[in-house]
Chains A and B, each alone.
Chain A
Amino acid sequence: MSAATETYYSVIRRQGITRRSFHKFCSLTATSLGLGPLAASRIANALETRPRVPVIWMHGLECTCCSESFIRSAHPLVKDAVLSMISLDYDDTIMAAAGHQAEAILEETRAKHKGKYLLAVEGNPPLNEGGMFCIDGGKPFVEKLRMMAEDAMAIIAWGACASWGCVQAAKPNPTQATPIDKVITNKPIIKVPGCPPIAEVMTGVVTFITTFGKLPELDRQGRPKMFYSQRIHDKCYRRPHFDAGQFVEKWDDEGARKGYCLYKMGCKGPTTYNACSTVRWNGGVSFPIQSGHGCIGCSEDGFWDKGSFYDRLTNIKQFGIEKNADQIGVAAAGAVGAAVAAHAAVTAVKRLASKREDAAKDH
């Protein structure tokens, strides 16, 4: 196999990139990584000789929209990513093999590429019922996941499912669907949240690893900083209307037609970290807010359980019937206010009574 193994270098040469520009690319890469000229030749060398990184893409409880999103990538085109940049050796959604032939690939990858393959996980394992809410090859998916994680170089957690739990983990989470980092604790995990994540963000993360030969820098929540360090709101083109105090008040009102801010319609852009307002969706065509609907916060932890997507303020279930912070506050302040008023009244009465008593005593 190794004799015929295609390298990144031969792949890009085949795509018409000259040797000169290949080396230019390598030295640019080295510079941008803050490395010296020696490193440039090492990068070039690595890319010339390294076979495509094997990727195992597994599916737990999910809806496959992350895969669907991935294939929407425009740069790189997904066909180039899959044919030339990585070696997608296992992905139940598109692979030719099934059954035993498919399972055999997992075993083979573990043995042959120990510690060298990327494990991409879409969806998450349920833990209830011995894991049998998601069965794969007759066994709980979680078993297969643990097995493949064991020898992986790193794990990519695709989407809200793998990163946070997503819709199946919304209350009451009947299957005990559990995010990847709660099941695998001894491997680097790159969370790429979103429901689904943006295609170019997904291919961006993968090609970052294959191009620069390292894992991306992650933020506090384990997300690549390059795509998840700013909120939708920070780069939203409707932001001037937010600052001006111009809001859509009702669907399809004048503000909606003028593209006013969707804050009052429940937009979660101010609390959502994602690249939608910059990279945008499907080749930069639009993103939720541009098409008139608020952001529902689909890349955020537990976004399903923060009350209605159309409410600005979150409902808080702990307070009996759901109430938002203002309703609770007004109720509490009102109750206290009433108590104060009552207290004041009693005080006044008592005071009057005792004055009379005093007066009576004086007589």
Chain B
Amino acid sequence: MIDSTPHAVAAEIAVDAARTDRSVERNVVYVYEAPVRLWHWINALAILVLGLTGYFIGSATPTVSGEASDNFLFGYIRFAHFAAGYVLAVSFLLRVYWAFMGNPHAKQIFFVPVWRRSWWGEVLHEIRWYAFLIDQPKKYVGHNPLAQLTMFFMYTVTVLFMIVTGFALYGEGAGHDSWQYKLFGWVFSIWPNSQDVHTWHHLGLWIIVTFAIVHIYVAIREDIMSRQSIISSMISGEREFRD
């Protein structure tokens, strides 16, 4: 959907620049619109909370002393998890909405053009760049194809999976007559023993952690190496091409 040949990029840069009335000399494109940026950081925060609390839900905290009625540590941890879960889910929905309303980049993380040969060629190109086989990366306004691939599978699909399984598990506690169970109870037709749902939900944590490590590293590295703004893009929304 996104045409990212250098020629098209140049054209887009011009259009974007004109629209947003920014300096053409700085060679800047407005990629990440405000909702995406806002969502990104809320999402990152929610996932931080979910990951930490989720880990503790899985392995439990050291025992606290005193009367049970005076303590609610595990309860709070689970509450934080569920609250962050709701934030994640709602913001994910809004993000989906924005994929339709926002600029073309807003759609990038929701699909991979597996049917397009040229796209695969570019994925290969990116792999070669990261494997130090190529001196210069190609320039992309949005995500580069490899990033898009990773985003789609390790972020979008995984988070969707986490939301579905998370709400299914939540439905168990909320009860079989809750809307959560009515909406997501079908998960237990796939895994009749909810122990399995826990296991998969737990594995999802580690996919996301792995994603986050790579994602943050690449973001910093690209920022330095690829002669285009990366990190600041997620703050200002603008992507600057430095040459």
Question: Is B88 an interface residue when CB atoms closer than 8 A count as contact?
Answer: no
State whether A314 and B195 are in contact (beta carbons under 8 Å apart), knowing that A220-B188, A240-B69 are contacts in the complex.
Answer: yes
Are A243 and B213 in contact, CB atoms less than 8 angstroms apart? no
Are B175 and A336 in contact, CB atoms less than 8 angstroms apart? no
Question: Is A209 an interface residue when CB atoms closer than 8 A count as contact?
Answer: no
Size of the B side of the interface (Cβ < 8 Å), in residues, is 49
A337 to B199, CA, bound (A): 23
Question: Is A35 an interface residue when CB atoms closer than 8 A count as contact?
Answer: no
Question: Is A9 an interface residue when CB atoms closer than 8 A count as contact?
Answer: no
Q: For the complex formed, measure the closest distance between the CB of B176 and the CB atoms of chain A, giving whole angstroms.
A: 5
Number of A-B contacts (CB under 8 A): 138
Task: Name the residue on A nearest B218 (C-beta).
Answer: A340
| Residues of B close to A343: CB separation below 8 A | 130, 217, 221
Which of these binds chain B: A73-81, A112-120, A321-329? A321-329
A225 to B71, CA, bound (A): 33
A351 to B224, CA, bound (A): 10
A4 to B80, CA, bound (A): 67
Size of the A side of the interface (Cβ < 8 Å), in residues, is 51
Q: For the complex formed, measure the closest distance between the CB of B118 and the CB atoms of chain A, giving whole angstroms.
A: 27
Question: Is A72 an interface residue when CB atoms closer than 8 A count as contact?
Answer: no
State whether A234 and B60 are in contact (beta carbons under 8 Å apart), knowing that A244-B68, A245-B74, A314-B199 are contacts in the complex.
Answer: no
Are B199 and A297 in contact, CB atoms less than 8 angstroms apart? no
Task: Name the residue on A nearest B199 (C-beta).
Answer: A314
A222 to B119, CA, bound (A): 48
Which of these binds chain B: A25-33, A148-156, A300-308? A300-308
Which of these binds chain A: B26-34, B36-44, B200-208? B200-208
Are B194 and A244 in contact, CB atoms less than 8 angstroms apart? no
Which of these binds chain B: A89-97, A182-190, A194-202, A260-268? A260-268
A219 to B207, CA, bound (A): 33
Question: Is B100 an interface residue when CB atoms closer than 8 A count as contact?
Answer: no
Are B58 and A326 in contact, CB atoms less than 8 angstroms apart? yes
A78 to B74, CA, bound (A): 43
Question: Is B73 an interface residue when CB atoms closer than 8 A count as contact?
Answer: yes
Scan residues 258-287 of chain A and give those whose CB is less than 8 A from a CB of chain B.
Answer: 260, 263-264, 268, 270-271
B72-115 CB mask vs A (1 if < 8 Å, else 0) is 11110110000000000000000000000000000000000000
| Cβ-defined partner of B213 (8 Å) among A164, A230, A312, A337 | A337
Are B63 and A225 in contact, CB atoms less than 8 angstroms apart? no
Question: Is B185 an interface residue when CB atoms closer than 8 A count as contact?
Answer: yes
| Residues of B close to A316: CB separation below 8 A | 199, 203
Are A325 and B58 in contact, CB atoms less than 8 angstroms apart? yes
| Residues of A close to B173: CB separation below 8 A | 234
A330 to B59, CA, bound (A): 13
Task: List 7 tightest A-B contacts by C-beta distance, closest first.
Answer: A329-B206, A245-B73, A244-B71, A243-B75, A325-B202, A245-B74, A240-B68
Other than the given A219-B176, A332-B206, 18 more pairs (CB < 8 A) read A220-B188, A231-B172, A234-B173, A240-B69, A243-B78, A245-B63, A245-B71, A246-B64, A246-B65, A270-B198, A300-B193, A303-B193, A313-B59, A313-B202, A325-B206, A336-B213, A337-B213, A340-B213
